Amino acid sequence: MEQREFVVEAEGAGQRIDRFLSAEDTGLSRSALQNLVAQGHVLCNGSPVVKSLKLKAGDTILLEIPDAAPIAAVPQEIPLEILYEDAHLLVVNKPKGMVVHPAPGNPDGTLVNALLWHCKGSLSGIGGEIRPGIVHRIDKDTSGLLVVAKDDATHIGLSQQMAVHSVERAYQTVVYGGFAQDEGFVETNLGRSQTDRKKMAVYPANAPHTKYAYTGYRVLERLGEFTLLECRLKTGRTHQIRVHMASIHHPVAGDPVYGPHNCISSLHGQCLHAKTLGFIHPITGEALRFDSELPEYFTHFLATLRRGRT
Which residues lie across from 201 on neighbouring strands? 191
Which residues lie across from 230 on neighbouring strands? 172, 218
- Taking alpha carbons only, the member of 299, 290, 282 closest to residue 81 is 290
Q: What's the CA gap between 61 and 33, in Å, rounded? A: 13
Question: Who's near 243: CB < 8 A, 6+ residues apart?
Answer: 190, 200, 201, 202, 258
255 catalytically annotated: no
CA 163 from centre of chain: 15
Question: Who's near 241: CB < 8 A, 6+ residues apart?
Answer: 171, 173, 215, 231, 233, 252, 272
Judging by beta carbons within 10 Å of its beta carbon (0-12, 13-18, 19+), is residue 265 exposed, middle or buried? Answer: exposed
CA 56 from centre of chain: 35
User: Which 3 state secondary structure label does DSSP give 74?
Assistant: coil
CB distance 168 to 289 below 8 Å: yes
Catalytic site residue from 18, 59, 139, 255: 139
Please identify every residue annotated as catalytic: 139
